[in-house]
Chains A and B, each alone.
Chain A
């Protein structure tokens, strides 16, 4: 089977991690149907990479291409109709309800004079339902738990319905059931022809759900490839500086830290 054409590509990309002299140049190709996991210890540059791929910060060198065109050549609105970002940090300085927050996902699709129409509301409602948030739709963000707030962020991007998802620790604060539900949601986006890239801290979620992995080492080294090739215990132990025990469950490796 031929490899599908990547929608998001990097050429000689070195992300601009403050205080790091240099790093391995990344030549990634993220294609429809793929679920990429970015693994690495704290401070390895996972979030910086994700923001660089979204065009939210300039790379130190190299370039990011969306549909073959370098990011600076895209208008922000056009970019936002194709590429969605789930942020790890949020700024809820002003009051807003859960429904309003999901609905801003439609912003890139509306002209300045346009009001949100029935279709926009229906999309937001469907996204809220998909993330078990319908009963919280009229609640203020400030009254939500961390996990509920995290699901609202995912619902915003689901309302945006981009072809490419860049998710920064999408399972943060989620309980076990919702972690699995969210990984299922992201995998479903890929099955429907989307492409997903997410930063993760949970090796086992990565092993279960990701088709490709990118390992970012603290010094700027990196390696990437299909998940089964990357899930080598020795490489993962070096990545985190943490000895691991490997078990096999349902044909997938499970990594448990040694005490």
Chain B
């Protein structure tokens, strides 16, 4: 029978795409470190990374570009992972980390902090608080007195998001002109003020480690709540865990880089078209591919019209919209 042989190859089939994605992630880091106002040749870059090279290049690579490229990787990884989790939670392949109004809540709080003239750290803190407040509001309202269903949660989140959208427009309308560019950059996502990359990377690693043992359970949950319950899944606690975890990691991503769009929607969806929907593969693959995509997008954002920088969200959306429409058009 073919089936006895099928087992090891299943695991192998899962590891092979991950190996390629890991290679792509490393190459993207290399590109991000090499490109910029001063381009650095691959052999020089290797010297710098192994402890040699010119002093200027060392400063450029290790102190300026590396923290930013790692922050881009971590943020993209978190957004894609959150997207993959939200899609399973809401049983909707078109859900994204922001669909439940989370980025709206974060944006309102961050813009209000900017309007009040607070510094970068406080803006980040406000964004985090706003994201969690919005999460809890959506959860409380969707829970309500009746039954909790993915559709009800999705509707609550979508309506909440449009509410936040109105408040954002209001805040922009009443803000003094000199604050507007900073606000718009924040709304489109920008890694220029990302700070230390370690929080996002650590959260990404912890979230992945927490989710991998749940992979097969998530596969079953993707078949619907009743089917999952009939196969022994404690559906409600699992959904709460998913919701809180996805919200938390989105909040961390938004706090780091503002609301970068399309990574969370596009990456898991594109991977699913190629790799199927086994969460044991899709979750780590999303993490790697999301990180790679945002690293490259951020490199473009700071080199395309250098010395000026573009908000990275512009790049992800400009790449994302046509790619997504093409894939959607091509699918059934």
Contacts and interface: CB of A to CB of B under 8 A. Distances in A.
B143 interface: no
A15 to B, nearest CB: 16
Residue of B6, B92, B234, B273 with highest tally of chain A CB at under 10 A: B6
B179 interface: no
Interface stretch (B161-169, B217-225, B246-254): B217-225
B232 A79 contact: yes
Interface string B1-37: 1011011001100000000000000000000000000
A95 interface: yes
Given A104-B219, A107-B216, A116 B231 contact: no
Contacts of A101: 223
Given A76-B234, A118-B4, 15 more contacts: A78-B232, A80-B230, A89-B224, A91-B227, A93-B93, A94-B93, A95-B273, A104-B220, A108-B232, A112-B216, A116-B7, A116-B10, A121-B6, A121-B7, A125-B1
Interface residues of B, number: 34
Given A93-B93, A94-B272, A95-B276, A87 B227 contact: yes
Contact of B272 (A78, A95, A104, A117): A95
A170 interface: no
A226 to B, nearest CB: 28
A110 interface: yes
Chain B facing A: main interface SS: helix
A142 B231 contact: no
15 contacts: A56-B226, A79-B232, A85-B230, A87-B226, A90-B224, A91-B227, A94-B272, A95-B276, A96-B276, A100-B219, A105-B231, A108-B232, A121-B3, A121-B6, A122-B1
A84 B230 CA distance: 7
Contact of A94 (B4, B6, B11, B277): B277
B3 A122 contact: yes
Contacts of A3: none
A100 B278 contact: yes
A76 B226 CA distance: 12
A142 B277 CA distance: 13
Interface string B197-237: 00000000000000001101101101110110111111000
Interface string A54-88: 10100000000000000000001111110011010
A112 B92 CA distance: 24
Interface residues of A, number: 39
Interface of A: 51, 54, 56, 76-81, 84-85, 87, 89-97, 100-101, 104-105, 107-108, 110, 112-113, 115-118, 121-122, 125, 142, 160
Interface string B257-291: 00000000000000011001110000000000000
B222 A125 contact: no
B18 to A, nearest CB: 15
Contacts of A97: 276
A81 B232 contact: yes
A244 B87 CA distance: 50
B227 A118 contact: no
Nearest to A81: B232
Given A112-B214, A116-B10, A118-B4, A87 B277 contact: no
Given A56-B226, A112-B217, A95 B277 contact: yes
Nearest to B214: A112
A245 to B, nearest CB: 39
Contact of B332 (A87, A116, A142): A142
A81 B232 CA distance: 8
A165 to B, nearest CB: 11
A91 B234 contact: no
